[in-house]
Amino acid sequence: MADLSQNDWTKQLNADNNSVVLDVRTQEEVDEGIIPNAIHIDIYKGQAFVDELEGLDKTKNYYVYCRSGGRSGQACGIMDQLGFNNAYNLKGGFNEWQGEVAHQE
């Protein structure tokens, strides 16, 4: 797991053709906007969160974010324990995100 600055996270993500963006915020937070093409799994789901992670492809590189970087850091730690090799935490989270934002219908 690595904590990456907004700039490094975005640069690395854009150069990565084996990447998945993972949003671990609540549905209410996601309703306010999401990084385009991110998949959403709420970390507060507890065991259901772990179960959904287990269904993901562990050979991919995961770019994980939450509102400020705390929950996504926890999520990266859980992913490491589950055998994911590459999970990158977005320092500052969505609060400091300068990139594109999508709104779900």
| CA–CA dist 99, 105 (Å, integer) | 20
Question: Among this protein's residues, is 76 annotated catalytic?
Answer: no
Catalytic: which of 4, 22, 30, 66? 66
User: Which three-class secondary structure state does DSSP give residue 105?
Assistant: coil
Task: Find where tokens 């709104």 sit.
Answer: 103
Provide the annotated active-site residues: 66
